[in-house]
């Protein structure tokens, strides 16, 4: 729902001039849910934010420059509805960019969602890869092992990158290409200035009921005398086909680091142990189906993950599986309710979780967390 006049008034309070030829839209999503979360050792009843979509508020602007070219911007911040805090740790932490759009495509600079984030959202989790119930919501941007490192390394694929530029081409017979670069701008002593740099290239094809996408993304780390990490490489491919009565989705994502760091087991049991785990790699497959049912949509999702490293610390015990079932029912064009269940199975060295990241809800290795949930989402 567009709120152009209100948005212009709000932006005016920041001292910016609003011109008649410009269009500014205020938009947002409010999404919250109740869940009973059981991580094995503990269980809790709680209210959480962002079950299907991350709660947010944003401004989107467009100015016609003539000749088919427009100036555009997006400023979008995440909100945790359960406690009112920022969703990504910054006021405008989801996206904040400005650029140009025209027959040449779209080019923007600022803080962006990475091309990997885009493919995960479009093809994971039965068509909503960052929603509750989906395997991609657990596996895509987490390293998931009970190990941490003091080295400056990229231990998980990047969903959003500061100081970045993103180009999306116009469609060529259904094919769209994306190029992405992010600058770590690292000025820390004894850390390479390139640490945190991210590069990505991808493409998406859409033609009628079929859609498919593929990408390569890498983030550089900081090699030191005792840690020879070079970069984290990610490859992903996804596809979907709309049969009308059912729409299947598939997403494959592989991550690999070259020469990983010394890890320390951070779980409370057993006693902490240090390991040198080189060339950590892993992949997961997310299989989902969305089907109209009883006026709503039934989403069924299953995913399995495989983690490995060259020195056998994880052996065959670094894997995990996820199964989820969710039913979405629209009360109007902008409001829907949803309910469902999701279960994880961790192998002995895996510690993937369903939101238990602090205090007694930290998921210890080998536990099998489960959540039962019900929520509401409203868009405006």
The DSSP string of 170-237 is PPBTTEEEEEEEE------TTS-TTTT-EEEEEEEEEETTEEEEEEEEEEE----SS----EEEEEEE
pLDDT-wise least confident of 73-87, 115-129, 179-193, 255-269 = 255-269
Question: Would you say residue 152 has pLDDT above 60?
Answer: no
Range of the domain at 352: 4-379
Residue range 132-137: average pLDDT?
94
Report residue 218's pLDDT band, with 50, 70 and 90 as the boundaries: very high
Residue range 101-107: average pLDDT?
97
Residue range 195-207: average pLDDT?
94
Question: Would you say residue 360 has pLDDT above 60?
Answer: no
Q: What is the pLDDT of residues 219-277, one digit of tens each?
A: 887 654 344 456 789 999 999 999 999 999 999 999 887 654 444 444 444 344 444 44
Of 117-126, 142-151, 266-275, 363-372, which one has max mean pLDDT? 117-126
The answer to whether 220 and 210 are in contact (CB under 8 A) is no
The answer to whether 138 and 304 are in contact (CB under 8 A) is no
Residue range 78-90: average pLDDT?
92
Residue range 128-151: average pLDDT?
74
List the Cα angle 123/291/319 in 5-degree steps. Answer: 45
Question: Residues of the chain with pLDDT > 90: what percent?
Answer: 62
Q: What is the pLDDT of residues 4-43, one digit of tens each?
A: 544 444 444 444 444 447 899 999 999 999 999 998 778 8
Q: What is the DSSP letter of 290?
A: E
Question: Would you say residue 319 has pLDDT above 90?
Answer: no
Question: Would you say residue 67 has pLDDT above 90?
Answer: yes
Q: What is the mean pLDDT of the chain?
A: 84
The answer to whether 120 and 253 are in contact (CB under 8 A) is yes
User: With b meaning 16 or more CB within 10 Å and e meaning fewer, what string describes 120-149?
Assistant: bbbbbbbbbbbbbbbbbbbbbbbbbbbbeb
| Predicted pLDDT at 263 | 44
CATH number at 42 reads: 2.40.160.10
| Predicted pLDDT at 96 | 98
Structure tokens at 94: 């989801």
- At 9, is the secondary structure helix, strand, or coil? helix
Q: How many domains does the chain have?
A: 1
| Predicted pLDDT at 275 | 45
Structure tokens at 67: 């000749």
| Side-chain half-sphere CA neighbours of 202 within 13 A | 27
């Amino acid at each position: 729902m567009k709120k152009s006049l209100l948005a212009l008034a709000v932006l005016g309070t920041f001292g910016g001039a609003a011109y008649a030829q410009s269009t500014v839209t205020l938009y947002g999503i409010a999404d919250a849910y109740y869940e009973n979360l059981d991580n094995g050792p503990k269980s809790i009843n709680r209210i959480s934010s962002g079950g299907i979509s991350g709660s947010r508020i944003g401004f989107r602007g467009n100015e016609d420059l003539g000749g088919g070219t427009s100036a555009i911007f997006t400023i979008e911040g995440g909100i945790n509805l359960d406690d009112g805090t920022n969703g990504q740790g910054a006021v405008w932490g989801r996206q904040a960019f400005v650029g140009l759009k025209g027959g040449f495509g779209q080019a923007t600079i600022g803080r962006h969602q990475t091309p990997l984030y885009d493919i995960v959202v479009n093809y994971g989790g039965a068509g909503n890869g960052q929603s509750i119930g989906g395997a991609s919501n657990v596996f895509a941007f987490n390293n998931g092992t009970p190990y941490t490192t003091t080295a400056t390394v990229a231990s998980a694929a990047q969903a959003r990158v500061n100081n970045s530029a993103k180009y999306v081409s116009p469609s060529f017979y259904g094919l769209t290409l994306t190029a992405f670069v992010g600058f770590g701008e690292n000025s820390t002593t004894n850390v390479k200035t390139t640490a945190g740099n991210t590069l990505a290239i991808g493409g998406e094809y859409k033609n009628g009921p079929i859609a498919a996408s593929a990408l390569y993304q890498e983030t550089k780390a900081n090699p030191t005398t005792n840690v020879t990490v070079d970069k984290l490489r990610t490859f992903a491919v996804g596809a979907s086909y709309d049969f009308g009565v059912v729409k299947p989705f598939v997403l494959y994502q592989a991550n690999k680091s070259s020469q990983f760091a010394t890890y320390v087991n951070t779980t409370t049991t057993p006693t902490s142990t240090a390991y040198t785990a080189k060339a950590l790699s892993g992949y997961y497959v997310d299989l989902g189906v969305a089907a109209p049912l009883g006026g709503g949509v039934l989403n069924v999702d299953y995913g399995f993950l495989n983690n490995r490293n060259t020195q056998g610390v994880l052996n065959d015990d670094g894997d995990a599986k996820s199964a989820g079932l969710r039913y979405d029912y629209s009360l109007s064009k902008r409001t829907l309710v949803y309910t469902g269940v999701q279960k994880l199975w961790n192998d002995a060295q895996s510690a993937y979780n369903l939101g238990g990241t602090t205090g007694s809800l930290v998921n210890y290795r080998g536990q099998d967390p489960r959540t039962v949930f019900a929520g509401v989402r409203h868009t405006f």
